[in-house]
Structure 1
Amino acid sequence: MPPKRSASTKAGSEPKRHRRMMTIAEKVTLLDMLKDGRSYAAAARHFGINESTVRYIKKDEANIRKTAAITFSRSAKRVVTTRNKTIVRMEGALAVWIADCQKKNIALDTNTIRTKALSLYENFAAKEPQDDDGNHAEEDDDADEPQPGTSTDSQPQKQRFSASKGWFAKFQKRFALKSVSLHGEAASADTAAAETYVNQTFKNIIAEGGYKPEQVFNMDETGLFWKRMPSRTFLFKGEAKASGFKAFKDRVTLVMCGNAAGFLLKPGLIYKSKNPRALKNKNKNLLPVYWMHNPKSWITKTLTSNWFHQCFIPQVSKYLIEKGLPFKILLLMDNAGGHATDLSHEGIQVEFLPPNTTSLIQPMDQGVIRAFKALYTKNTLADLVACVDAAQDDEDEDFNLKAYWRQYTIATCLQNIQKALQEMKPATVNASWKKLWPQIVYDDEGFTPAEIQHSAIRKSVQLAAIIGGDGFGDMTTEDVDELLDCHSQPLTDADLEDLTKSASEEESETQEETQENVEKTGLTLERLAKACNHAKELKEMLQEWDEDMVRSMQFSNKVDDIMTPYKMLLDRKKKQRQQLPITMFFQPRKKEPVPPATTPSEEIEEVEEVSQEKTPPSEET
C-alpha cells in the first residue's frame, strides 16, 4: 500500500499565481509580431506568457483587431462581445463625432450626445435592418428595461433603442469618455486661459528646461478630403449624382508636427486601408508620409503612441544630431480625445495645452495647416491641367477629365502632399509661433501662413480657368475658401456613415497575394537588365541621329545619372544570385523502395543478365 501524501504537498499550499491580463494594444502588438513571421514561442517569451495563451489570442484575432479599431482607451483589456451591429456602428460614429466636436470647440452636453446617438441609430437602422439570429446579445443595456407584466409569452419582444441614461453611462465607460467635460455652456475659446499660459506657464517651462527653438515642437492632426473639388465644379456634381461613387467624401487624417525654428517633420497619414491597391508593392518606409491605417481614418490613442515612438522620435533624433544639439525635447499637444496621455520617453517632456485654447495659441492652428491645404489644392488642380495639356499635345480626342478624375488614387494624393510640403518654407512654420513664443519669430514678411495661403488660392483660380468647364472656368477665391472651410465644419450623419463603413476589400485581396506574385510585379533581375539595356539603346540612337554632339553627350550623361540607382540595384542582385548556394538548385531525391530479399540462385541470374547487357557486341573482322 503506497504511503499517504504528506500534509506539505496538499493542494493550496503553493502560493496562488496572479493572472496577468494583457491590454488590447499589447495583443495587437503580439498579433503584428506573428504576422511579421515571429514564432509563437518567441512572442510568448517577449510578453512573458504561455505559448498556449498566444495561440488563443491568435484565434481571436478578428475580434481583437475590431476592438482596437473602435476603442479610444489604450488600457482597454476586454474584447467587444457580440452586440447589435447597428448599435456598435452607431457608437463608433458617435465617438468620432464627439472627438470632432471637441476639436472644433463645439458645445456638448449629455442630452445633445443622446439625441445625436438616437439620430444616428435611426439613420443606420433604416439602411441596415436588424436580423433575428442573435445579434442582440447586449440590447438589455441599450434599451429601456421591460416593465413587469402577466404575459406568459415565451418570446420576449425586441426592445427599441432609446439612448437611455443607462446606455450613456456604459457608452462613456466603453469609450473612456469619463474625463470628457460635458456641459451646456458654449465651448468658446478661452482667452484668459490662453493669456495665462503664454505669459506664465509656457515661459516658466522654457526657462526651467532651457529649451531652444529647435527643441520645441507642436503636433496637431487634421482631416483632409483628398479627392474633393469645389462644389460648383462638374467633377463634384458628377460624383455627387453617381450612385455608389462619392469619392469626394474620402478622407485621410494628417498628423502635422513642426518646431519653433521652422522645421516641419514628415507628416503621419491615417488611411482607411493598410494596403490599398494604388500602393501595391510599394515600400511603406519610403513614402513621403508615415503610413498608418484605421477603418475610420481617425486618430486614436494607439495610433498617437505609434506615431510618437516610430515617427516623431527617430526624425527628431536625426534632426538634433545634425544640428549638434542634445536630445532634449518639449512636445506641445492639445487635449483632443484621440491623443494618448501616457506618452513618455527619456529626454522628452510632453505638455498639453489648456482646453479651448488651440485656436488662439497652438502654432499648427495658426494658419500652417490651412496654408498646407491650399497648396495641396493648387497642386491637385495643376495635375488636372497637366493631363489636359498632355491630351491636347497627343491629340487625344477620347480624353475624358471625369474618367481621369476617377483614377486619381491615394498614390497621386501622396505626390501632391509631398509637393505641398516642399513648398512650405521654414519661415512660414516659424511665423506660426508668433502668438505663443513671439521672441523667436524672425522676419516673416512675405512668408506668413496667411500670405502663402492667399498666393496658393490665387494660383488655384488661375489653374481652374485653364481647365475650363462648369464650375472651373468661373471659379472664384470664395469657392476655394469654401473648399478649405469644409474641413472645419461639423461632421454630418452622412459623413459619419461613410467614416464608419468597413475598409475596402482591396486590402484583403492584396494581403492574399503570395510572394511569388509580388516578385513577378517587382524589380526582378531580368527587368532591371532590360531597363538598363533600353537606356543604353536610347543613348546610342540619339548619339547617331543628333547632329549636335554636345547636346547628345549632355543627354547621355543625364541618363547615366538617372540610371545610377538602378544599375547599382542590378549589380547587387547579380551578386546575390552568384552567392546563392549550389544546393538550392537541386531537388531532394526521392528514396527508392528497398528491393525484397532474393535467393542465391536469383542473385546469380540477375548478375548474368547485367553482365550480358554491359558486354559490347563483337565486331566481325
Structure 2
Amino acid sequence: MDETGLFYRDTSRQTLFIKGQDCAGGKRSKERITVALCASMTGEKLKPLLIGKSRQPRCFSKIKPESLPVIYKFNSKAWMNSYVMEEWLKQLDSSMRRQKRKILLFLDNAPSHPNIKLSNVELQFLPPNTTYKTQPMDMGIIQAMKLKFRKRQMKHMIKEMDKHPDICGTDILKQITILDAIYWVHSAWEEVQTSTIQKCFSKAGFLCENIDSDDDFDDDDDVPLSVLKLAHEVFGCEFNDLSEMDQTLSTCDNSAKDWDRPATDLLNTLESDGSESESDSDNKETNCCSVSDAHIYADKLKEFAQFHGNTRLLSSLMSASEYLNDMSLNSSKQKPITDFF
C-alpha cells in the first residue's frame, strides 16, 4: 500500500513548477487530493482510499460518502494521518478476518503509518530511503493509474471544449469536482491490468512464478490523438509527463509534530475540518430534472447506443433504466382507497 498526491483539477503549466516543492497551504492545496492504492503480488486490487478536504462536499449533493466506489475520508489538508490510516487498517483486518485470510502488508515508514498489532494483517515497514527501489507501487502501478486518470480528464476537456468553444481549457479544469475525480480514480484503478501489478512487484524484488521480472510494465493504454494534441497545446508537455507533475506532492505532514497526539484529538480535528467551505465551482446550484424527464433522456440515449451499435453503452444504460425504475417506485405515494370511489 502506498499514497500519492493528485492534482485533480488545476493541471495547467503552472502546476509543473510545484515539482520538488512541498504543497503546504495556499491556493494550490485546495486543488489536490490524496489517493492510497493497495494491491497484492498476484494482482488483487483493493478499493482505493481517497482523502479530500470536506466531510460532505457540495458536489456530493445527496450522495452519501459510504456509497461511493472509493473509501472517502477527509481532513483540512487532504493528507494522510495516523487516525485515518489506523481506521483503514482495522477495516482491512476485519475484511481479512471475514474471509478467513491472513496477509502480510508492506508499507513505507511515513510518520502517518502507525505500527499496530492486528489479528489477520501483519505490517512490515520498508527500510528508510529505499521506497523508490523496494516499493512496488513506485515501480509503475501508481503511474499507470495516473495516466489513465489523465486520459479521462483530458477526454472530459475535449468534450467540454466542443460544447463551449468560447471557454478556455483552464476554466474547464476549474469546474471539475471532487466527485468527478472519485469516479475517474475508481475507473482508472479498475483498468490497471493484473499483469502490470505483477511485473511491478517483480521489479521490486517480490518474485512471482511465471512472471518475467525483466519486462517493463506495459500501460496498454490506447490514448487518442486528440488527447495527445491537447496535452501539447494546453499543458505544453508530453502526455506521459502529466503522471509525474504531482509525483513529489506530500501526502502527510512529514514534520511528525502531530502523530504523538491521541487518536481522540485527531478525530476532533477531523470533525472540525468538515465545515470548511468549498471553492466557487462547487457552490453552484443546479436545476435537476424530474424522474420522468430522466426516463426520457435514458430512452433517447438507448436509441443512440442502438443506432451506433455500442453494446457497452447500451448495457450501462439498461442498468441506469433499472435504477430509474426503482426511484420511480420508491418516490410514488400509495393512493388511499377512497380515491377509487
Distance in 1 between residues matched to 2:251 and 2:73, nearest whole Å: 24
Match of 1:376? 149
- 1:302 partner letter: Y
CA change 1:227–1:531 in 2 (3 A) is closer
CA change 1:347–1:568 in 2 (3 A) is same
Cα deviation per residue 1:301-342 (whole Å; 9 max; x = unaligned)? 1111111223x2465567xx5xxxx42222222221111212
**1:222–1:253: 8 Å Cα contact kept in structure 2?**
yes
Question: 2:36 aligned with 1:223, yes or no?
Answer: no
**1:388–1:467: 8 Å Cα contact kept in structure 2?**
no
CA change 1:230–1:341 in 2 (3 A) is same
Cα deviation per residue 1:235-280 (whole Å; 9 max; x = unaligned)? 99xxxxxxx9945762222121111110111111111211111112
Question: 2:167 aligned with 1:386, yes or no?
Answer: no
CA change 1:232–1:436 in 2 (3 A) is same
TM-score normalised by the chain length of structure 1: 0.41
Provide structure 1 residue ranges, at least 5 long, that are not aligned to the other structure: 1-218, 237-243, 493-501, 508-520, 581-621
Question: 2:211 aligned with 1:442, yes or no?
Answer: yes
**1:226–1:248: 8 Å Cα contact kept in structure 2?**
no
Match of 2:127? 354
Cα deviation per residue 1:485-517 (whole Å; 9 max; x = unaligned)? 44379999xxxxxxxxx777437xxxxxxxxxx
Cα deviation per residue 1:513-566 (whole Å; 9 max; x = unaligned)? xxxxxxxx999xxx445644x369869xx8xxx9xxx969x99x9766541122
Question: 2:111 aligned with 1:340, yes or no?
Answer: no
Distance in 1 between residues matched to 2:298 and 2:139, nearest whole Å: 52
- 1:376 partner letter: F
Q: Choose 1 or 2 for highest CA Rg.
A: 1
Match of 1:405? 173
CA change 1:444–1:379 in 2 (3 A) is farther
- 1:256 partner letter: L
TM-superposed CA distance for 1:414, in Å, is: 1.4
Match of 1:565? 323
Count of residues in Structure 1 that have an aligned counterpart in Structure 2: 300
Distance in 1 between residues matched to 2:121 and 2:298, nearest whole Å: 52
TM alignment of 1:203-602, pairs within 5 A:
219-231=1-13, 246-247=27-28, 250-310=31-91, 312-313=92-93, 316=96, 321=99, 326-344=100-118, 346-389=119-162, 391=163, 396-434=164-202, 435-440=204-209, 442-443=211-212, 448-449=216-217, 451-452=218-219, 459=223, 463-466=227-230, 469=233, 471-472=234-235, 475-476=237-238, 479-480=241-242, 483-487=245-249, 505-506=276-277, 527-528=290-291, 531-532=294-295, 534=296, 562-574=320-332, 577-578=333-334
Name the SS for the 1:377 alignment partner: helix
TM alignment of 1:48-63, pairs within 5 A:
none
CA change 1:538–1:503 in 2 (3 A) is closer
Name the SS for the 1:337 alignment partner: coil
TM alignment of 1:131-170, pairs within 5 A:
none
Match of 1:57? none
Distance in 1 between residues matched to 2:141 and 2:171, nearest whole Å: 33
- 2:185 partner letter: I
Distance in 1 between residues matched to 2:330 and 2:226, nearest whole Å: 47
Provide structure 2 residue ranges, at least 5 long, that are not aligned to the other structure: 18-24, 255-272, 279-286, 337-341
Higher relative contact order (CA 8 A, sep 6+): 2
- 1:465 partner letter: K
CA change 1:414–1:286 in 2 (3 A) is same
- 2:322 partner letter: T
- 1:463 partner letter: V
Name the SS for the 2:172 alignment partner: helix
TM-superposed CA distance for 1:410, in Å, is: 0.9
**1:262–1:426: 8 Å Cα contact kept in structure 2?**
yes
- 1:410 partner letter: I
Name the SS for the 1:432 alignment partner: helix
Name the SS for the 2:3 alignment partner: strand
Cα deviation per residue 1:124-147 (whole Å; 9 max; x = unaligned)? xxxxxxxxxxxxxxxxxxxxxxxx
TM-superposed CA distance for 1:397, in Å, is: 5.0
Structure with the largest fraction of helix: 1
Cα deviation per residue 1:414-456 (whole Å; 9 max; x = unaligned)? 122123112200111111221332133625797x44x32xx66
